[in-house]
Amino acid sequence: MFSYESIAQYHTALNNNSTSCKSEVEFYLKQIQLKQHLNAFIDVFADTAREQAQKLDDAIAAGQPLLPLHGVITGIKDVLCYKGHPVSAASQILENFTAPYSATVIQKLIDAGAIVIGRLNCDEFAMGSSNENSVYGPTLNDLDNSRVPGGSSGGSAVAVQAGLCMVSLGSDTGGSVRQPADFCGIFGLKPSYGRVSRYGLIAYASSFDQVGIFAKNIADTALVLEIIAGADEFDSTASVKPVPAYSTALQTNTAFQKFAYFKDAVEHPSLDPEIKTGLLAYFDRLRKEGHTVTGVDFPYLDYIVPTYYILTTAEASSNLSRFDGVRYGHRSKREISDLAEFYAHNRSEGFGREVKRRIMLGSFVLSAGYYDAYFTKAQQVRRQLFDQTQLIFKDFDAILSPTAPGTAFRFGEKSNDPIEMYLGDIYTVFANLVGIPAISLPIFWHSNGMPYGLQVMTNRFEEVSLLQVSTLLMQFKN
């Protein structure tokens, strides 16, 4: 019987008729049913998935060559629009909303032969690190159901972790692909800002948001990136830089690499001591193999979380002002006497606690008396970080870091303390602040039975070297 390992192996099986798109769709629909308790899927698009599978099987029967993602069963985070299907950002404010068009990434996936099997649970408007902020309730980590899957793309991570789809898409504004990948023991890639179109992605913080990929291996990650990347007339921030053939550029780079890590990151008091030891031992191993791994000073570490939360909440307060219950979404049934009250009721009822907190924080940092002290200052810090990062990449090929300060925590452990939750983003928000690509590689296991990842970052638009270096680094997995 066919058992999925990679897109390449699946395509071999399709070509020699040992499986079909239809039987794979049925298999995954059954798995989703069997693992319903994980609450990874909000909606299963069984009918459209079956229709697509039939067409894709007919094409094989007619002797047509396979499309690049032929029959690849894909899950999508509930922030990506898929025409004619519901999308809600896991929020009550978008109840009963159906996407009127498809996101560019979704259209590209479908054109490449992928089958979108359903939409996946996440934190409301992608705000969170544990998937506990969803109106549909939390997604459970399949390795330990008492632990969070990470967030905000928790459903996307668990769907791949638990074998409910072959690959999935998430979004990453400050770590929402890498941190859940780390917590679930899979691969999670955030591309460079501008590498992938954001058209049809429900915005959280537009100058940070990128669509990201969850997969079981690097080759699948590279192939999906190759399909979804590129310029888009509907998103002026999507770069016109040509898209390299990521999937065929994976041969291991045999050159010795120059890796940097931030001393302050590894020494940080919030880092789990066992993760620290694991990382340092791994760095030694790399050195023995002939690579250089150098600790560099990076005195900005404690500023990056505040900078991230000032800028993203400011952008969110503006982005989310469109959800007012007038044209679509939740509309309060309470009596109203004027327009302001109408908006207030709709938004008070429609948004959850965390989203409200961020809208208020964002409005505050943008308000007349505080704009310069917070927003302008944070923009300046962002620029500084960018300049410092460019200096680092003059001397080094890649930066290595933990993905998260600890392994997957238990439900409720941090949900009453937003500051503690925010501080967990210390290692991931950096890549979004400076717009560089970053991946979490499932390399380590903790003695508590949970996995944790190594985060790798390269300079902007250097996804090819990121993927090559990742292939190299995976060879030293214990």
The number of residues that bind ligand GLN (CB under 6 A) is: 14
Q: How far is the CB of 455 from ligand GLN (least distance, A)?
A: 14
269/287 Cα distance (integer angstroms): 25
**Span of 40-48, 127-135, 248-256, 365-373 interacting with ligand GLN by CB under 6 A:** 127-135
Q: For residue 174, which of 429, 454, 362 has the smallest C-alpha distance?
A: 429
Site string for ligand GLN, 182-211 (x = CB under 6 A): ----------------------x-------
Contact between 405 and ligand GLN per CB under 6 A: no
Regarding 175 and contact with ligand GLN (CB under 6 A), the answer is yes
Q: Which helix (H) or strand (E) holds 286?
A: helix 273-288
Q: Which is nearer to ligand GLN, 259 or 427 (CB)?
A: 427
Known catalytic residue at 197: no
Binding mask 291-320 for ligand GLN (x = CB under 6 A): ---------------------x--------
| Cβ atoms 291, 387 nearer than 8 A | no
Question: In angstroms, what is the minimal distance from the CB of 243 to ligand GLN?
Answer: 23
Closest CB 229 distance from ligand GLN, rounded Å: 19
172 binding ligand GLN? (CB under 6 A) = yes
- Options 91, 102, 134, 152, the catalytic residue: 152
CA gap 453, 181 in Å, rounded: 8
Looking at residue 384, what DSSP letter applies? H
Burial class (CB in 10 A: 0-12, 13-18, 19+), 204: buried
- The answer to whether 272 touches 405, Cβ cutoff 8 Å, is yes
Helical H segments across 289-352, by residue range: 301-319, 339-350
Judge whether 414 counts as a catalytic residue. Answer: no
Q: Which stretch binds ligand GLN (CB under 6 A): 7-15, 70-78, 101-109, 171-179?
A: 171-179
The residue from 139, 152, 407, 468 that contacts ligand GLN (CB under 6 A) is 152
Site membership for ligand GLN, residue 226 (CB under 6 A): no
Q: Mapping DSSP to helix (H, G, I), strand (E, B) and coil, where does residue 477 land?
A: coil
Using CA atoms, how far apart are residues 358 and 370, in angstroms rounded to an integer? 16
CA 132 to chain centroid, in Å, comes to 16
Active site residue 146: no
Q: Which stretch binds ligand GLN (CB under 6 A): 107-115, 166-174, 231-239, 381-389?
A: 166-174
Determine the interface stretch with ligand GLN among 122-130, 257-265, 269-277, 343-351 (rule: CB under 6 A): 122-130
CB contact at 8 A, 450 and 147: yes
Q: Specify the residue for token string 């395509």.
A: 11
Least Å distance, CB 312 to ligand GLN, is 6
CA distance 22 to 56: 9
Work out the number of other CB atoms within 10 angstroms of the CB of residue 74: 26
Q: Which is nearer to ligand GLN, 174 or 350 (CB)?
A: 174
CA pair distance 333, 227, nearest whole angstrom: 44
Q: Which is nearer to ligand GLN, 12 or 363 (CB)?
A: 363
Residues paired with residue 296 on neighbouring β-strands, in sequence order: 262
Q: Report helix, strand or coil for 47.
A: helix
Which of 154, 174, 191, 402 touches ligand GLN (CB under 6 A)? 174
> Which listed residue (29, 72, 126, 305) binds ligand GLN by CB under 6 A?
126
Give the binding site for ligand GLN (CB under 6 A): 126-129, 152, 171-176, 204, 312, 425
